[in-house]
Amino acid sequence: MKKVILIAFLLWLPMRGEAQSTPNIMVDPLAKRVDTLEHWVAEKNYTRIPIADFEKIIDTKISDQVYNSIYKWIAFLGGLIGLVGVFIGAYFKTQIKTDVEEAIKKVGAEQSNKIAEQDKKIEALLKTQQNYEEQHRLFKSEASTAIEEKINSLMGFLWNNVADALTKKAAEEQYQKTDVINDIEEFIARKNVSLSNERIVALIDTLMRCYYHVSEDFFQRYRIDRYRKMIELLNKYEKDFELYPQTYANAAIALSNKYELYGVKSDRDACLDACEKSISRLQDYGLAYAIKMEIFLIDYVKAYDDQEKQNAIDAIRRTFKSISNNNSSIIRDELLERFEVDDKVSWLHPYTLNLEKLFSQEMDETRKVAIANNLNKYEQYGKKKYQDRCITLCNALHDEYYSYTVKLELYCIEYMRSPSEDDQQVAMIRIYDILTVTIDSNSNELAEDIRKKLQNDKETDYLKKYIQKIEEIIEQFRMQSTQHTPLLH
């Protein structure tokens, strides 16, 4: 504002000076015109008129010129003032505009800062709100999940108990009750039942055992194909669950029975497939190998010509080779136990006879390895079941000397490990019985074979002390016996 007043004052000073010099400027032209008139009079260039008129004309003339000059200066000053006013107005307008704009900018900046601060506060509040909502959602989700997991855990515990009860019930009833089949089928089919994989697999195995053991009357009554049910059960669950090898073996046993009865190739192939799946899950599962051999024995009996018979023989020999390459201490016992069970089944007895007839050497080699395993276990653990198993296998051997030698070793272990004199006496009687039979046979060849076997077994560390004891017992027996043979001499 101070700048505006200063500029107005500076413009006013020149205008004042001009106003003061105006009378001088106006006097000078009038003097010049008087001189001109006098000159015209002197040169007689005039006309005689009354003085009053002349003065009137002169006054009028002078007045006109003075007023014209004054009007010009007034117009000039008016224009100048107007122009200055325009400039001053433009200046003030520009200055006001500038001040207003600056004020607006300043106010706008302040408002923008305030708005920005408010936005930050609002954003912080929104973020806090979002964090709260997210935490609330997470808490709600976690709480819901925890509750759901707890409920599922409790329900799973309940369902697993039900599954265990069904499995136990079926086992107690030896898988022969038909109501168990219905209970298990309905239980597994329920969609709201949540079971562990372990329980599902156990139920499937139980159901397979029931299909195998339940009487045929049940299946005929409801027109159900027992074997088809077994295959359907495998196909339904084997892709999603790792089924027990026993589950496949039980299915294979049933299918082998059907193949023996009807001779249908599809049953044979399904049986062998189940055997392979069982073996793939348990590589030393002797039962699965036994069923394979029985299928090949059925092939041999049902063969069309000699070539088919030879194919069956070759398949059995390959199976024996696979077993001989397996170092498991279990596989041979399971294989032989299965053959012993099936030998007592009337319709399977002919096949086990063919096995002993065609493969006596392979069977004896298998038995000898199984005998060695059970003899070692008996020496380690002293359990009678291993001794009984050795005796059973020895009785089935075709090599008589081998059987007598192993029995001597068994009874010697029993004698040296017996806790009482009575038990020792029982073991010694058994040893003397074998020596008596051996001596009474009067077979030098048998005695020599036994001696060689004992000497060979003496190289086995855990048998060495027992062989030495046997030799002492034999010497005592020879001294007490009235009969003398070169037995072990």
Confidence (pLDDT) at 415: 95
Confidence (pLDDT) at 311: 97
Dump pLDDT digits (tens) for 197-224.
999 999 999 999 999 899 888 888 888 8
Dump pLDDT digits (tens) for 277-318.
999 999 999 999 999 999 999 999 999 999 999 999 999 999
**Tokens read off for 405:** 């030698």
Name the band, by pLDDT with cuts 50, 70 and 90, for residue 487.
very low
With 90 as the cut, is the pLDDT of residue 238 above it? yes
The residue type of 73 is W
Structural contact between residues 417 and 380, judged by C-beta atoms closer than 8 angstroms: no
**Tokens read off for 213:** 């053991």
With 60 as the cut, is the pLDDT of residue 484 above it? no
DSSP 311-330: HHHHHHHHHHHHHHT---SS
Confidence (pLDDT) at 86: 67
Residues 6+ apart with CB under 8 A from 174: 213
Confidence (pLDDT) at 409: 97
Alpha carbons 341 and 353: distance in angstroms, whole number: 13
Dump pLDDT digits (tens) for 397-439.
999 999 999 999 999 999 999 989 999 999 999 999 999 888 6
Dump pLDDT digits (tens) for 349-394.
999 999 999 999 999 999 999 999 999 999 999 999 999 999 999 9
Confidence (pLDDT) at 53: 67
Confidence (pLDDT) at 150: 57
Confidence (pLDDT) at 346: 93
Residue ranges with strand state E in 348-406 = none
Confidence (pLDDT) at 2: 47
DSSP 3-state assignment of 258?
helix
With 70 as the cut, is the pLDDT of residue 466 above it? yes
- What average pLDDT is seen over the chain? 83
Dump pLDDT digits (tens) for 145-174.
656 555 556 676 888 899 999 999 999 999
Name the band, by pLDDT with cuts 50, 70 and 90, for residue 135.
confident
Q: Which residue has the higher pLDDT, 271 or 75?
A: 271
Confidence (pLDDT) at 81: 75
Alpha carbons 282 and 245: distance in angstroms, whole number: 6
Residues 6+ apart with CB under 8 A from 290: 334, 335, 338, 339, 342
Residues 6+ apart with CB under 8 A from 453: 401, 402, 405
With 90 as the cut, is the pLDDT of residue 5 above it? no
Question: What does residue 303 show for φ and ψ, rounded to 5 degrees?
Answer: -60, 145
The proportion of the chain whose per-residue pLDDT surpasses 90, expressed as a percent, equals 54
